[in-house]
Amino acid sequence: AIMLARLYPKTTIHVFEAIPQLFRYLLWNLQLNNVTNVRAHSSAVSGDGRPLQMSYTPKSPYLSGSGREVAKRVAMVNKGKKGTMVAKVQRLVVHSHTLPAIVSAYGLRELALLKIDCEGCEWEVIPSLDQLEGSLKVHHIVGEVHPLLCHSSQDMFQATIQRMCSQPPLKWGHAVQNCDCCPVFYPGQVGKWLAALQPKQ
Protein backbone atom coordinates (compact mmCIF):
# COMPACT_ATOMS: atom_id res chain seq x y z
CA ALA A 1 0.00 0.00 0.00
CA ILE A 2 2.82 2.41 0.84
CA MET A 3 4.55 1.82 -2.49
CA LEU A 4 1.33 2.36 -4.44
CA ALA A 5 0.48 5.42 -2.35
CA ARG A 6 3.80 7.00 -3.29
CA LEU A 7 3.57 6.02 -6.95
CA TYR A 8 0.00 7.37 -7.20
CA PRO A 9 -0.30 10.21 -4.64
CA LYS A 10 -3.67 11.37 -6.02
CA THR A 11 -5.21 7.93 -5.56
CA THR A 12 -7.14 6.84 -2.47
CA ILE A 13 -6.19 3.40 -1.19
CA HIS A 14 -8.40 1.48 1.25
CA VAL A 15 -6.64 -1.11 3.42
CA PHE A 16 -8.43 -3.59 5.69
CA GLU A 17 -6.58 -5.25 8.57
CA ALA A 18 -8.59 -7.23 11.10
CA ILE A 19 -5.99 -8.10 13.73
CA PRO A 20 -5.51 -5.18 16.17
CA GLN A 21 -1.78 -5.73 16.66
CA LEU A 22 -1.15 -5.70 12.91
CA PHE A 23 -3.49 -2.74 12.46
CA ARG A 24 -1.44 -0.70 14.94
CA TYR A 25 1.70 -1.63 13.03
CA LEU A 26 0.00 -0.53 9.79
CA LEU A 27 -0.83 2.88 11.29
CA TRP A 28 2.73 3.27 12.59
CA ASN A 29 4.14 2.38 9.18
CA LEU A 30 1.88 4.88 7.40
CA GLN A 31 2.86 7.64 9.82
CA LEU A 32 6.56 6.77 9.62
CA ASN A 33 6.45 7.04 5.82
CA ASN A 34 4.27 10.17 5.84
CA VAL A 35 1.56 8.48 3.77
CA THR A 36 -1.71 10.41 3.77
CA ASN A 37 -3.72 8.87 0.92
CA VAL A 38 -4.28 5.47 2.55
CA ARG A 39 -7.47 4.89 4.55
CA ALA A 40 -6.84 2.16 7.09
CA HIS A 41 -9.82 0.14 8.35
CA SER A 42 -9.69 -2.04 11.45
CA SER A 43 -11.93 -4.83 10.19
CA ALA A 44 -12.00 -7.95 8.06
CA VAL A 45 -13.71 -8.53 4.72
CA SER A 46 -16.01 -11.53 4.38
CA GLY A 47 -18.77 -12.86 2.18
CA ASP A 48 -21.62 -12.07 4.58
CA GLY A 49 -20.39 -9.51 7.14
CA ARG A 50 -20.43 -11.94 10.07
CA PRO A 51 -18.10 -11.69 13.09
CA LEU A 52 -14.98 -13.72 12.34
CA GLN A 53 -12.90 -15.77 14.74
CA MET A 54 -9.26 -14.93 14.03
CA SER A 55 -6.04 -16.46 15.25
CA TYR A 56 -2.93 -14.33 15.67
CA THR A 57 0.55 -15.80 15.99
CA PRO A 58 2.82 -13.08 17.46
CA LYS A 59 6.08 -14.83 16.60
CA SER A 60 5.00 -15.51 13.01
CA PRO A 61 2.34 -12.97 11.98
CA TYR A 62 2.25 -14.32 8.43
CA LEU A 63 0.59 -17.46 9.82
CA SER A 64 -2.30 -15.45 11.28
CA GLY A 65 -5.76 -15.83 9.83
CA SER A 66 -9.33 -16.86 10.42
CA GLY A 67 -10.68 -20.01 11.96
CA ARG A 68 -9.08 -23.42 12.00
CA GLU A 69 -6.75 -22.77 9.07
CA VAL A 70 -4.09 -21.40 11.42
CA ALA A 71 -3.62 -24.77 13.11
CA LYS A 72 -2.92 -26.35 9.74
CA ARG A 73 -0.38 -23.70 8.82
CA VAL A 74 1.40 -23.95 12.17
CA ALA A 75 1.55 -27.73 11.81
CA MET A 76 2.96 -27.42 8.29
CA VAL A 77 5.65 -24.97 9.40
CA ASN A 78 6.60 -26.97 12.49
CA LYS A 79 6.65 -30.34 10.74
CA GLY A 80 10.04 -31.96 11.11
CA LYS A 81 11.36 -29.27 13.48
CA LYS A 82 12.42 -29.73 17.08
CA GLY A 83 10.19 -27.72 19.35
CA THR A 84 7.76 -25.27 17.81
CA MET A 85 8.21 -22.18 15.72
CA VAL A 86 4.99 -20.66 17.03
CA ALA A 87 4.82 -20.57 20.83
CA LYS A 88 1.34 -19.10 21.25
CA VAL A 89 -1.74 -18.54 19.18
CA GLN A 90 -4.05 -15.73 20.33
CA ARG A 91 -7.72 -16.04 19.38
CA LEU A 92 -10.05 -13.09 18.95
CA VAL A 93 -13.34 -12.16 17.28
CA VAL A 94 -13.34 -9.28 14.80
CA HIS A 95 -15.91 -7.35 12.80
CA SER A 96 -16.16 -7.93 9.07
CA HIS A 97 -17.79 -6.15 6.15
CA THR A 98 -18.79 -7.41 2.73
CA LEU A 99 -17.18 -6.05 -0.41
CA PRO A 100 -20.55 -4.76 -1.70
CA ALA A 101 -21.13 -2.94 1.62
CA ILE A 102 -17.69 -1.31 1.40
CA VAL A 103 -18.28 -0.25 -2.20
CA SER A 104 -21.65 1.24 -1.25
CA ALA A 105 -20.39 3.01 1.90
CA TYR A 106 -17.64 4.83 0.00
CA GLY A 107 -19.55 5.37 -3.23
CA LEU A 108 -16.97 3.49 -5.28
CA ARG A 109 -17.66 3.08 -8.99
CA GLU A 110 -14.25 2.04 -10.24
CA LEU A 111 -11.23 0.22 -8.79
CA ALA A 112 -7.87 0.41 -10.51
CA LEU A 113 -6.70 -2.56 -8.42
CA LEU A 114 -8.32 -5.06 -6.09
CA LYS A 115 -5.64 -6.89 -4.12
CA ILE A 116 -6.69 -9.75 -1.90
CA ASP A 117 -4.32 -11.57 0.44
CA CYS A 118 -6.47 -12.90 3.24
CA GLU A 119 -5.28 -16.46 3.77
CA GLY A 120 -8.43 -18.24 2.66
CA CYS A 121 -11.23 -15.65 2.62
CA GLU A 122 -10.84 -15.28 -1.16
CA TRP A 123 -13.27 -18.18 -1.58
CA GLU A 124 -16.13 -16.00 -0.33
CA VAL A 125 -14.93 -12.47 -1.14
CA ILE A 126 -14.08 -12.89 -4.84
CA PRO A 127 -17.45 -14.52 -5.71
CA SER A 128 -19.23 -11.58 -4.02
CA LEU A 129 -18.14 -9.44 -6.98
CA ASP A 130 -21.14 -10.95 -8.80
CA GLN A 131 -23.36 -8.76 -6.61
CA LEU A 132 -21.67 -5.66 -8.05
CA GLU A 133 -22.44 -6.44 -11.68
CA GLY A 134 -22.97 -3.22 -13.60
CA SER A 135 -22.15 -0.94 -10.66
CA LEU A 136 -18.40 -1.43 -10.20
CA LYS A 137 -15.58 -1.61 -12.73
CA VAL A 138 -12.42 -3.43 -11.62
CA HIS A 139 -9.39 -3.02 -13.86
CA HIS A 140 -7.03 -5.48 -12.16
CA ILE A 141 -7.42 -8.23 -9.57
CA VAL A 142 -4.36 -9.68 -7.87
CA GLY A 143 -4.15 -12.05 -4.95
CA GLU A 144 -3.50 -15.51 -3.61
CA VAL A 145 -5.61 -18.64 -3.47
CA HIS A 146 -5.18 -21.22 -0.73
CA PRO A 147 -6.82 -24.50 -1.78
CA LEU A 148 -4.76 -26.57 0.64
CA LEU A 149 -5.69 -24.38 3.60
CA CYS A 150 -9.41 -24.11 2.91
CA HIS A 151 -12.30 -26.52 2.95
CA SER A 152 -13.00 -25.83 -0.70
CA SER A 153 -14.48 -28.08 -3.34
CA GLN A 154 -13.15 -28.35 -6.86
CA ASP A 155 -16.11 -26.24 -8.03
CA MET A 156 -15.26 -23.47 -5.55
CA PHE A 157 -11.63 -23.54 -6.60
CA GLN A 158 -12.49 -23.33 -10.30
CA ALA A 159 -15.06 -20.57 -9.78
CA THR A 160 -12.61 -18.40 -7.85
CA ILE A 161 -9.76 -18.98 -10.31
CA GLN A 162 -12.05 -18.18 -13.23
CA ARG A 163 -13.17 -14.96 -11.59
CA MET A 164 -9.58 -13.92 -11.01
CA CYS A 165 -7.95 -15.19 -14.18
CA SER A 166 -10.41 -15.81 -17.00
CA GLN A 167 -9.88 -14.35 -20.44
CA PRO A 168 -11.90 -12.87 -22.10
CA PRO A 169 -13.60 -10.63 -19.48
CA LEU A 170 -15.88 -12.41 -17.06
CA LYS A 171 -19.64 -12.51 -17.43
CA TRP A 172 -20.07 -9.58 -15.04
CA GLY A 173 -17.81 -7.34 -17.12
CA HIS A 174 -14.61 -7.19 -15.08
CA ALA A 175 -11.58 -7.17 -17.39
CA VAL A 176 -8.87 -9.08 -15.56
CA GLN A 177 -5.48 -8.64 -17.20
CA ASN A 178 -1.93 -9.85 -16.63
CA CYS A 179 -3.10 -12.73 -14.45
CA ASP A 180 -0.41 -15.12 -13.29
CA CYS A 181 -1.78 -18.39 -11.92
CA CYS A 182 1.07 -20.57 -10.76
CA PRO A 183 0.39 -24.18 -9.67
CA VAL A 184 3.92 -24.75 -8.35
CA PHE A 185 2.93 -24.48 -4.69
CA TYR A 186 -0.22 -26.58 -5.10
CA PRO A 187 0.79 -29.85 -6.78
CA GLY A 188 -1.33 -32.85 -7.56
CA GLN A 189 -5.06 -32.28 -7.76
CA VAL A 190 -4.76 -28.49 -7.83
CA GLY A 191 -2.48 -28.70 -10.86
CA LYS A 192 -5.12 -30.81 -12.60
CA TRP A 193 -7.78 -28.21 -11.79
CA LEU A 194 -5.65 -25.47 -13.31
CA ALA A 195 -4.95 -27.60 -16.38
CA ALA A 196 -8.69 -28.15 -16.83
CA LEU A 197 -9.18 -24.38 -17.10
CA GLN A 198 -6.85 -24.07 -20.10
CA PRO A 199 -8.62 -23.57 -23.44
CA LYS A 200 -8.91 -26.69 -25.57
CA GLN A 201 -7.32 -26.58 -29.05
Give residue-wise pLDDT tens across range 80-126.
555 555 557 778 899 999 999 999 999 999 998 888 887 777 778 88
Query: Is residue 136 within 8 Å of residue 163, measured between CB atoms?
Result: no
Domains identified in the chain, total number: 1
Residue 29 lies in a domain: no
pLDDT on residue 87: 52
Residue 38 lies in a domain: no
Helix (H, G, I), strand (E, B) or coil at 63: helix
Residue 117: exposure state from Cβ atoms within 10 A (0-12, 13-18, ≥19): exposed
Distance between CA atoms of residues 33 and 90, nearest Å:
29
Residue 13 lies in a domain: no
pLDDT on residue 61: 62
Contacts for 13 with CB less than 8 Å, ≥ 6 apart: 1, 4, 5, 37, 38, 39
The pTM assigned to this predicted structure is 0.72
pLDDT beneath 70, residues of the chain: 59-87, 146-156, 159, 165-201
Query: Is residue 151 within 8 Å of residue 123, measured between CB atoms?
Result: no
pLDDT on residue 75: 61
Residue 85 lies in a domain: yes
Residue 185 lies in a domain: yes
Pairing type for strands 38-41 and 13-16 reads parallel
pLDDT on residue 128: 84
Residue 53 lies in a domain: yes
Range of the domain at 158: 43-196
pLDDT on residue 79: 60
Query: Is residue 122 within 8 Å of residue 146, measured between CB atoms?
Result: yes
Contacts for 190 with CB less than 8 Å, ≥ 6 apart: 147, 148, 157, 183
Residue 22 lies in a domain: no
Residue 91 lies in a domain: yes
Pairing type for strands 90-94 and 96-98 reads unpaired
